[in-house]
Amino acid sequence: MRTDDALAADKSLGGVSARELAETYGTPLFVVDLDELDLEIDRFGRAFGAREIAVGYAGKAFLCAALAEHLAATPLRLDVCSLGELVTAERGGFPSARMYFHGCGKTGEELRAIVERRVAFDVIDNREELERLAALAPASDPVDVMLRINTGIEAHTHAFVRTGGENTKFGIPVAQLPAALVRVAELPQLRLIGLHAHIGSQIAELEPFLANVDELLAAAAIAVAQGHPIAELICGGGIAVEEGPGDPRPLELEALAAGLAERAAGRGLRLGIEPGRALIARAGSSLYCVMTVKAQGRRRFVVLDGGLADNPRPMLYGARHLPEVMAARSLGPDEPATLTGRSCENDEMGDYILPRGLAAGDLVAMRITGAYTYSMASNYNRFGRPPVVFVRGGHHRRVIRGESADDVTRLDMV
């Protein structure tokens, strides 16, 4: 980037100037603001924890050992869905008593880790998993399990439908629950402690969550009638977040927590939730350097030095993140621009309004990229994944180094 001082924009993330971050670590750079994260954890604690609804963080949104270490010092539980996530959490010292395992196709190694009590319990997705886990566990020391059920609530951002459970691959359909419960009762190796249902992502309305907990409560009544003392219902994650820091929050946590608590009141059950995105998204930003600005046809393309490889979400499902000019020499009036990455694809990151003066060397951040960005990054084009930096109160610390060309080729056997 340019080193001259007369900047028209000179912004910071977590109290650290974007220029300093770019000069220290290079770009693209994935930046996590720990103050923002802690604010969000507090918000969840006040809304859910205060109502005795357990909050777990869905590690799939973003996990690294340093984040696990940070989360270990909070009251959060952690949901892991692979051996890689489990080992990452262990490396960060996250206690096994607060972890549980998810996934609809667990490997033998993952099931053995569950039996070895490297997590507190398993969320069983299907009948085959039930049998495979029971075959590994000793009857003298049963493994705690939940059954994931498919409540048939399919949530879209602004609507939901009851599908009868047949339209998504996850969980055991409600109609098959009684038979699964009979089988669990026959297996002394397993101890059923709860039921689980997660209905989707980026849900901005209250109603699908309430419909889901109603279905879970009905399922719990079936389980209790069959002699299973159900202690807990986990209602999944899926809470939507906004595009940019100034936008209104799509869903009020207080309203959701109050709604869930009210539905379950007097039923003798504990509730849990497991958001990923809503906890981590706002803390994360992706910092890029502008490579070139091109007027072609009727469009103006701003080409960034990242894109598809470090954030596939805009291309995968049209995700939008607010682009913010962090450092630029000259801004000028706003004009339409298409942000693209540098990969050998049409990796458009969206049409936005950006200042006319934006030029090569300026810094742009995509905001609210904390969730499913780094965790979905790839080595497409054999690009290295970016470094990850934690910022807080004007200080910065690298917690994952960026991949070099040597890293990208380290598994090649030639």
Ligand X SMILES: Cc1ncc(COP(=O)(O)O)c(C=O)c1O
In the complex, what is the shortest distance from the CB of residue 162 to ligand X, in angstroms, rounded to a whole number? 19
Rounded Cα gap, residues 223 and 98, in angstroms: 24
CB of 243 to ligand X, least distance (A): 15
- Rounded CA gap, 191 and 144, in Å? 5
Find the part of the chain contacting ligand X (CB under 6 A) among 38-46, 175-183, 271-279, 398-406.
271-279
Coil vs helix vs strand at 39: helix
Helix (H) or strand (E) holding 82: none
Contact 59, 85 (CB under 8 A): yes
Q: Does 276 bind ligand X (CB under 6 A)?
A: yes
Which residue, chain included where needed, has tokens 């607010």? Answer: 322
Q: Which residue(s) pair with 292 in the sheet?
A: 303
239 binds ligand X (CB under 6 A): yes
286 near ligand X, judged by CB under 6 A: no
H/E stretch holding 109 reads helix 108-115
Nearer to ligand X, 119 or 371 (CB): 371
User: Binding of ligand X at residue 208 (CB under 6 A)?
Assistant: no
Nearer Cβ to ligand X (114/303): 114
Q: Cβ neighbours of residue 251 under 8 Å, at least 6 residues apart?
A: 203, 204, 205, 206, 239, 240
Is residue 40 a contact point for ligand X (CB under 6 A)? Answer: no
The kind and range of the H/E element at 11 are: none
Q: What angle do CA 336, 360, 379 make, to 5 degrees?
A: 90
User: Which residue stretch of 129-137, 205-213, 268-276, 308-316 sits at the interface with ligand X (rule: CB under 6 A)?
Assistant: 268-276
Q: Does 278 bind ligand X (CB under 6 A)?
A: yes
Q: How far is the CB of 372 from ligand X (least distance, A)?
A: 7
- With contacts defined by CB under 6 A, name the span among 58-66, 129-137, 178-186, 250-258 that binds ligand X: 58-66
Q: Which residue has the tokens 């990796």?
A: 347
Q: Is 58 in the site for ligand X (CB under 6 A)?
A: yes
Q: Quick one: which segment of 67-75, 172-180, 236-244, 247-255 binds ligand X (CB under 6 A)?
A: 236-244
Which CB sits closer to ligand X, 355 or 370?
Answer: 370
Alpha helices (runs of H) in 175-236, residue ranges in sequence order: 177-186, 207-225
Helix 127-136 vs helix 108-115: crossing angle, to nearest 10: 60
- Give φ, ψ of 169 to 5 degrees: -80, -15
**Is position 344 annotated as part of the catalytic site?**
yes
Q: What are phi and psi of 408, to 5 degrees?
A: -65, -25
Q: Is 298 exposed, middle or buried (0-12, 13-18, 19+ CB in 10 A)?
A: exposed
Residue in 165, 194, 238, 350 binding ligand X, rule: CB under 6 A: 238
- Under rule CB under 6 A, residue 102 binds ligand X: yes
Residues contacting residue 87 through CB under 8 Å, at least 6 positions apart: none
Six-digit token string for 266: 């007097």
Binds ligand X by CB under 6 A, chosen from 275, 314, 370, 386: 275
The residue (of 70 and 102) whose beta carbon lies closer to ligand X is 102
The interface mask with ligand X, positions 353-372, x = CB under 6 A, is ------------------x-
277 lies in the binding site for ligand X (CB under 6 A): yes
Contact between 236 and ligand X by CB under 6 A: the answer reads yes
Query: Which of 194, 237, 272, 284 is the binder for ligand X (CB under 6 A)?
Result: 237
Cα–Cα nearest to 85, from 97, 94, 74 = 94
Does residue number 198 form part of the binding site for ligand X (CB under 6 A)? yes
Q: Given the rule CB under 6 A, which of 176-184, 274-282, 295-303, 329-337 is the region that contacts ligand X?
A: 274-282
Task: Point out the residues that are catalytic.
Answer: 344
Which residues contact ligand X by CB under 6 A?
58, 60-61, 102, 198, 201, 236-239, 274-278, 371
